[in-house]
Every structure is written in structure tokens, then in C-alpha cells.
Amino acid sequence: MRLRHIGRQRQAENTVNRHTSEIDALLSQPCYLGKWYEIARLDHSFERGLSDVSAQYRRLPDGKVEVINRGYRAEKGDWKEAIGQAVFIGDPTLGSLKVSFFGPFYGGYHVAALDERDYRWSLVVGPSRDYLWILARERRLPADVREQLLKKASQLGFDISRLIWVGQDRPDA
């Protein structure tokens, strides 16, 4: 992944080093839609302190993707939910989108690795090396898959020692 400076914000170009270009076409398939559990993330204010985080993706009639992020706030004993929209960047078969939860402000969403056969896991990076998520269809990842994704993230220049491993233990998640 190459980084460039635009103003004061570091932006990641859509040059994520992929093992295969097939990821691009696979992201536009309905198989990527549905519920994903957040296994790990880098810390940021909008998810700080949340456990049992999940993301629900649904294709809208206009081609956009509705995104519903949900996580449990133990200190308040309630659920925090954010609803946004994702728009494909360029060709809709590419593995890059921009996502907005706050009006006209968008952030990058780039699929860096994907289980191309069964859509069981995904490694997603944002607009800089400050944003990374490991997502899975189940609440737990097999150890070998976890290690594979950590290796990929490290190869892309992410500090994997900063990852937060998200608890996924609530039965109502």
C-alpha cells in the first residue's frame, strides 16, 4: 500500500497489494453482504470501549451499500449503533469503497485480503495505516487464518501490536 499526503491527512491510494486480482470482482458479489463480526481493530474514537461489534451490509436499490455498525457499551449497559452508506470508488467490481456515517464526510474502505472461496473472513484497511479491521462471519477465527491475516497486515506496514482483540461473547449480539 502506498501512502501519499493530501493536505494534512494521509490517504491510502487504491494500491493494496493483493495476492490475486480476483478480490476486486468478488467484493461486488452478494456473498460479501450480510453480517460480519469484528475480530480485531486498531483503536479509534468511534469504537473505543465497544465489545461484540458487528457490521451488517445490505445492497440498496440505487447500488449503494447500507452499513450498520453495532457494538456493546459495557459502561452504559447498552448498544451503540451507527448507520451509514458505502459507495464504490470507481468500478463497482473493485474492492474499494468510501463509507460515510456523518453526512458528506467519507472514509476509505479497502479490502486487502478476502476468503475468496467461502467469504468467511476479510482484512479491511482504511485511508491510512491508522485504520484496520479483521472481520469474520463467525465470532472466532481459526488460529491459522488469524496468523495469515496478521502476517498480511504486517506486510502492508501496519503495527499489529496495536490491535485490539474484540470480545464476542454476548448472546444477544
pLDDT in tens, 115-149: 988 999 999 998 899 999 999 999 999 999 999 99
Give me the DSSP letters along 134-153: EEESSSS--HHHHHHHHHHH
Residue 110, by phi and psi: left (phi above 0), alpha (psi -120 to 50) or beta?
A: beta
Pick the CATH number of 3-165 from 3.40.50.1980, 2.60.40.790, 2.40.128.20, 2.70.150.10: 2.40.128.20
Question: What is the reported pLDDT for 1?
Answer: 26
Q: Is 123 helix (H, G, I), strand (E, B) or coil?
A: strand
Amino acid at 136: A
In this prediction, residue 89 carries a pLDDT of 80
Return the sign of the alpha-carbon dihedral for residues 139, 32, 96, 81: negative
Average pLDDT of every residue of the chain: 81
**pTM for this structure?**
0.81
> 171: which 3 cell numbers?
448472546
**In Å, what is the CA distance from 154 to each residue of 28, 112, 157?**
26, 12, 5
Give the pLDDT of residue 105: 79
Burial 33-61 (b: 16+ CB within 10 A, else e): eeebbbbbbbeeeebeebbbbbbebeeee
Is the CB of residue 117 less than 8 Å from the CB of residue 96?
no
Please identify every stretch of the chain with a pLDDT value under 70, giving residue numbers as ranges.
Answer: 1-29, 91-94
